[in-house]
Structure 1
Amino acid sequence: MATARELAQGARDVARGALGLLRQNARLVVLLVAALVFMLLLEDVAEGGVMRLDTMAYELFVERLRSDALTPLMEGVTSLASVVVLAVMAAVIAALAPGKEPGWCVSVNLVGVVALNQVLKFIVQRPRPDGFRLVAESGYSFPSGHSMVSMAFFGLLIWMIWRYHRRDVMRVVWCVVFGLVIVLVGVSRIYLGAHYASDVIAGFCVSLAWLAFYTRVVAPAFLAADNREPAD
């Protein structure tokens, strides 16, 4: 009969093996989980009405947190994911990065995710929230365009920094900063009444799945021309 120590060692070995498998297939896991969550949200949206998730988010971000002091900040945050601002940032990256490849990589990513968002919105055609909107918006609501482009754009920057930047504290700092921008953009869309929470989460999920593909197939093809190796 196995002793308690042997059982514990076996459990640790299984856990290490599972973690190793997840690391080796991280993109596939992200892709599958993001796709599953998106499909669950899409199913509820197709049934019509407002989800419990949307109601809870409305109560928190609109009824409790909305204030005259916070609104300008949320408007500023949401503008970080406007196509114009991101296009300017892409141009800056293209101008400052060594070679043309990083600029092309970021630009193609932005154009692709904007086009994908428009296709999905046209297919689903969910109306935007009405009655508590602080910003003028047109078009359909699901999935959130700002959430999609922020996750895709800043998510790609996180991947590029983590892969190519030298291993120092600034690599972590920049990744955390861009991660916070992604989250805050999503929150701002709910706060301003431009989207339901389910729109925002769906947008994040679509772009996570997009990035799982883009960073595996497209981005390496662009950046290989830089002849740069991942940072030590």
Structure 2
Amino acid sequence: MSKTGEFARGAREIARGALGLARENVKTLMLLAAALVFVWLLGEVASGEIMRLDTLAYEFFVERLRSDALTPFMEAFTSLASVVVLAVLAAVIAALAPGKAPGWCVAVNLVCVVLLNTVLKEIVQRPRPDGFRLISETGYSFPSGHSMVSMAFFGLLIWMVWRYHRKDAMRVVWCVVFGLVIAMVGISRVYLGVHYASDVIAGFCVSFVWLVFYVKVVAPLFVAVDAPRPPATQA
């Protein structure tokens, strides 16, 4: 075999090895990526200037997309991360979800992520966008509390569904639905003019890092991680 052929075969083997390693460590890579993005956004926000990302998001979601017909839907999505809605959903989970104490699992998660958001906001103290808000909000802007709460709450639901639901199409459907809710809550905050896009992305990132820690360390104290799932339905 020629040297060129040996080099090509070696390159392919290295590529296959790298892909295999990446597949085995997807969660670690995602966790690292989320942490790096948050740190980068934190540094950009600390500089005190509006990011290009925030300007582009404003031009699309506020100047182009905003309309009287769409606004009620965005308000509905943002309300999915409100105290009342989450309290009702937590009560339903406490009553219906399997495990030792699923209600406490959800409640502790929410309390911790709200406290984390409060601490980060007090440290950064970024003012909210001004001049184009459709709803009234108070407090600092970075990171987005609604984005953090939606990622923590509905992300935990995704974890629960994937752990406990039978292996059928509905398990995937529910996970996709909860994922879309997370995304739409974040988008609604930019659309309604109460957050910059960087606030939302940072909220998602830091909450994802928190959620990975929570389901590994804290959640097993409240739910039986290895509880048997119902059998898959037969066609």
Give the TM-score normalised by structure 1: 0.91
Moved more, 160-169 or 25-34: 25-34
Moved more, 13-22 or 3-12: 3-12
Aligned residue number for residue 152 of structure 2 = 152
In the alignment, the residues of structure 1 paired with residue 110 and residue 12 of structure 2 have an alpha-carbon distance, to the nearest angstrom, of 42
Residue by residue over 1:130-162, the C-alpha shift from the partner in whole angstroms, topping out at 9 and shown as x without a partner, is 000000000000000000000111111111211
Aligned residue number for residue 176 of structure 1 = 176
Instruction: Please list, as runs of the form range in 1=range in 2, the aligned pairs for 1:12-161 lying within 5 A after superposition.
Output: 13-161=13-161
Q: Is the 8 A contact 1:30 1:208 kept in 2?
A: no
Structure 1, unaligned stretches of length 5 or more?
none
Letter in 2 for 1:105: C
In the alignment, the residues of structure 2 paired with residue 174 and residue 7 of structure 1 have an alpha-carbon distance, to the nearest angstrom, of 47
Using a 3 Å threshold, how does the CA distance of structure 1 residues 65 and 97 change in structure 2: closer, same or farther? Answer: same
Using a 3 Å threshold, how does the CA distance of structure 1 residues 198 and 35 change in structure 2: closer, same or farther? Answer: same
In the alignment, the residues of structure 1 paired with residue 221 and residue 45 of structure 2 have an alpha-carbon distance, to the nearest angstrom, of 37
Q: Is the 8 A contact 2:146 2:185 kept in 1?
A: yes
Letter in 1 for 2:193: G
Partner of 1:88: helix, strand, or coil?
helix
Letter in 2 for 1:215: V
Offset of residue 220 of structure 1: 2.3
Q: Is the 8 A contact 1:30 1:212 kept in 2?
A: no
Moved more, 98-107 or 29-38: 98-107
Residue by residue over 1:156-201, the C-alpha shift from the partner in whole angstroms, topping out at 9 and shown as x without a partner, is 1111211222211001100110111111111100000010000000
CA RMSD of superposed structures (Å): 2.1
Offset of residue 129 of structure 1: 0.3
Percent identity reads 74
Letter in 2 for 1:195: H
In the alignment, the residues of structure 2 paired with residue 21 and residue 13 of structure 1 have an alpha-carbon distance, to the nearest angstrom, of 12
Partner of 1:98: helix, strand, or coil?
coil
In the alignment, the residues of structure 2 paired with residue 152 and residue 50 of structure 1 have an alpha-carbon distance, to the nearest angstrom, of 27
Q: Is the 8 A contact 1:28 1:212 kept in 2?
A: no
Using a 3 Å threshold, how does the CA distance of structure 1 residues 16 and 162 change in structure 2: closer, same or farther? Answer: farther
How many residues of Structure 1 are paired with residues of Structure 2 in the alignment?
231
Letter in 1 for 2:92: V
Offset of residue 9 of structure 1: 6.1
Using a 3 Å threshold, how does the CA distance of structure 1 residues 6 and 174 change in structure 2: closer, same or farther? Answer: farther
Using a 3 Å threshold, how does the CA distance of structure 1 residues 18 and 87 change in structure 2: closer, same or farther? Answer: farther
Q: Is the 8 A contact 2:121 2:142 kept in 1?
A: yes
Q: Is the 8 A contact 1:147 1:185 kept in 2?
A: yes
Structure 2, unaligned stretches of length 5 or more?
none
Q: Is the 8 A contact 1:161 1:175 kept in 2?
A: yes
Using a 3 Å threshold, how does the CA distance of structure 1 residues 105 and 15 change in structure 2: closer, same or farther? Answer: farther
In the alignment, the residues of structure 1 paired with residue 9 and residue 90 of structure 2 have an alpha-carbon distance, to the nearest angstrom, of 50
In the alignment, the residues of structure 1 paired with residue 106 and residue 19 of structure 2 have an alpha-carbon distance, to the nearest angstrom, of 31
In the alignment, the residues of structure 1 paired with residue 113 and residue 222 of structure 2 have an alpha-carbon distance, to the nearest angstrom, of 17
In the alignment, the residues of structure 2 paired with residue 78 and residue 53 of structure 1 have an alpha-carbon distance, to the nearest angstrom, of 21
Offset of residue 22 of structure 1: 3.0
In the alignment, the residues of structure 2 paired with residue 148 and residue 194 of structure 1 have an alpha-carbon distance, to the nearest angstrom, of 15
In the alignment, the residues of structure 2 paired with residue 229 and residue 14 of structure 1 have an alpha-carbon distance, to the nearest angstrom, of 39
